[in-house]
Chains A and B, each alone.
Chain A
Amino acid sequence: MRKQLPPDMLARDSRFVRTSIMDQVMDPRNQKIGERDLGSARLQPERPAAADRARNLMHGIFTGEIQALEGAGRTTFDFDDDEAPFALKLDMARQCWDESRHVEISVKLGDWMGTEIGEYSEAVFLYEAACAPDPVLRLCGVNRALEGLAIDVFNTMKEFGDSSGDPVLEFCEDWMLADEVTHVKMGSDWLRRMTKDDPERLEKALEFQRTVDKLFSLGGFRGETEDNPIQLARNFRSMAGFSTDEIDEIAELAAQAKRDAEALVAGSS
């Protein structure tokens, strides 16, 4: 088996349909949808499309968890003992188990919510962040950026479960949220340990994280305003080792990502 498996080699059964993140962001229908004045973009049960949006999001969580599992698994394999410390690999193996459980939970929740595997497409940008050749960059891209997004998503879904009167959804999201806080903290701790005497490597890793964070903001998908379906979960991010300045920076990156996407769509129409 080779080291460094490219994203196009991720193995899936026949139910899965692959798409690209750019296709999703650049979908010309987005502009039309944006022009409709429906009030808050938050996931709220009173919105007519709330159930469909929640199902779509749950399927996205499901495919994201598969890729997180694959990314953590590859980090145990791709690096020799002198490139990644033994304890780091143990943490990644533990994350494999956690992500494996999250896939199981997502499959059952998807079933509970009335969707099925393959009903929505899969973009593999999450796994792409796990392909960095430096393990520190992977920790920043996956554990701090991707798992950070997962904190925001799970907290949003947990609140939706609460407001829509779905205790099963709320219960499961809360458990997954606990794991994600652990994974983000793991990333923050390893980032500090592995770059303690290497400020250049630290800056490179943080720059990679900024890029991934902006990409994960998906043109306004995540943020802190009424226009953002997924809300930045400041308290849980703080628990996971993010400073207030770092959270402020992610909020600004998210706002920037929304402005960029609007400009792109306006330019292409």
Chain B
Amino acid sequence: MADPYKPRAAFAPWDRRELPGIFSVEDSARRVGNYKWLEMRLFESLGGWVATVPELDVKLVLGRHCYHHAWHAELMDKRLPELREMDTDRLCEAPNPEMEAFVEALREPEAPEHTIEKLVGVFRVLLPRKIAAYTYHLNGTSRITDSPTQRSLGFMLQDEFEDWREGEMLLQSLIETPEEVDRATRRQAELEKLILAAGGISGPGSLGPIVATEGASL
């Protein structure tokens, strides 16, 4: 029988987590605030669009995804006070005016004939950018000190990947003619230029490198 009092290492041999991370508490809080703002704007847009799309399957998917992004906003909202940001509205903002302009353009389509434009904005432009920025944050932050943020980002990324796949499949089923291919690519290019100007979903540094702040890494 194994001796339960025999000293063991705190980290099992297969647990390779390290202390250093590239984000300070403030860096992480700022990004989390940006994510909350974006997730809010996204779930509002999807909720608003439900009534404007005639395609029944798209309508139902938007209703489901609306909740996914609301839950992400809630996760980020709960994380902010744990990152010393007691006023959870203060950092809930766009990283810059260019990102606000991108979101304005994203949510602009309304007509029932514009389902392709609505879906392209979300599934071909925004979700890939979110996946990239969340992955960068997940991989770059300390796996020990900022583990709660990592855990939330992990859940969010799981939704983002699955939602992206579902949205992309809807788009492929909706795009039936060369003209519709042009519409989709034109829309994608318009929005890509805007988010490029914003520097990504949390501004320049969304995918690094970022300017290191004091005490950011060990």
Q: Are A69's CB and B70's CB within 8 A?
A: no
Name the interface size band of chain B.
35 or more
Q: Within 8 Å CB of A213, what residues of B?
A: none
Surface stretch bound by B, among A71-79, A198-206, A225-233, A253-261: A71-79
Q: Is the CB of B77 within 8 A of A86?
A: yes
Query: How many angstroms between the C-alpha atoms of A77 and B71 in the bound complex?
Result: 16
Q: Please tell me if the beta carbons of A96 and B51 are within 8 angstroms of each other in the complex.
A: no
A99 within 8 A of B: yes
| B8-16, B104-112, B122-130, B163-171: which lies at the interface | B104-112
Of the listed residues A9, A73, A127, the one surrounded by the most CB atoms of chain B closer than 10 A to its CB is A73
Judged by a CB distance under 8 angstroms, whether A115 is at the interface is no
**Known contacts being A11-B54, A90-B73, A93-B43, is A76 close to B66, with CB within 8 Å?**
yes
How many angstroms from the CA of A75 to the CA of B50 in the assembled complex?
Answer: 11
- A73-B77 CB under 8 A given contacts A93-B43, A94-B67: no
CB-CB contacts of B52-66 with A at 8 A, as 1s and 0s?
A: 111110011111101
**Once bound together, how far apart are the Cα atoms of A7 and B5, in whole Å?**
71
Q: Is the interface of B mostly helix, strand, loop or mixed?
A: helix
The size class of the interface chain A forms with chain B is 20 to 34
Interface 0/1 of A15-40, CB less than 8 Å to B:
00000000000000000000000000
Complex interface: chain A residues within 8 A of B48 (CB): 1, 5, 73-74, 76-78
Please, what's the 1-or-0 string for A121-138, where 1 marks a CB less than 8 Å from any CB in chain B? 000000100000000000
Interface residues of B (CB under 8 A from A): 40, 43-56, 59-64, 66-67, 69-71, 73-74, 77, 89, 107-110, 112
